[in-house]
Amino acid sequence: MKVGVLAIQGDFEAHRRRMEQLGAAVVEVRKPEQLDEIDALIIPGGESTTFLKVLGEHGFEKLKQFVLTRPTFGTCAGAIMLANRVENPSQPGLGALNVTIRRNAYGRQVDSFIGKGSAVADLECGGGPLEMVFIRAPKFEHLGSNVEVLARQGDDPVLIRQGKVMASTFHPELSDDTRVHAAFLKMVRNGNK
């Protein structure tokens, strides 16, 4: 099993190190053709509009085909990319998650913060609060009925799953807590259910 990390921007190296720490074989994906070589994908944070520009039309369509059929985990900008509706401002999404997401919902870069959230579903290795790093974070404004909330920050859902797709509005790769990545890896290893 190979997990790809979209290595266009963002801290893709932190995701790679975390997945390797958890025992996964990891490929840094820089070209659309590399999606054919992997079983699952992580789309890291960064700037979602930059992802769109760098991917181009062909890359966007190839990525869309992948995320609609294979296990994918998006963090921050990756969560924005996976949504079917993006606001503030509006932009295309890949449509893998039945959600409306609002970009930069918690404010500007200077408003970034580290919070403690609660897992509302089993995230492996026991319970307890999750450290959550929010950097110009988006917010899930609306969740479809088939979207499962895995963790919250206050009343806000911040980690969700729909079928083979997970998304977080925070950066789990910047915390020492491995539970979020472990939950994604378990989903991949359990036949993508």
The catalytic residue among 28, 141, 173, 181 is 173
Which candidate in 13, 20, 33, 76 is catalytic? Answer: 76
Rounded Cα gap, residues 104 and 165, in angstroms = 22
Question: How many other C-beta atoms are found inside a 10 Å radius of the C-beta of residue 125?
Answer: 11
Catalytic residue from among 15, 131, 142, 171? 171
Is 76 among the residues known to form the active site?
yes
171 catalytic residue (yes or no)? yes
- Could you please report the per-residue DSSP string of 37-104? G-SEEEE-SS-HHHHHHHHHHHHHHHHHHHHTTS-EEEETHHHHHHEEEEETTTB-----EEEEEETT
Whether 58 sits among the annotated catalytic residues: the reply is no
User: How far does CA 153 lie from the centroid of its chain?
Assistant: 16
**Residues with catalytic annotation?**
76, 171, 173
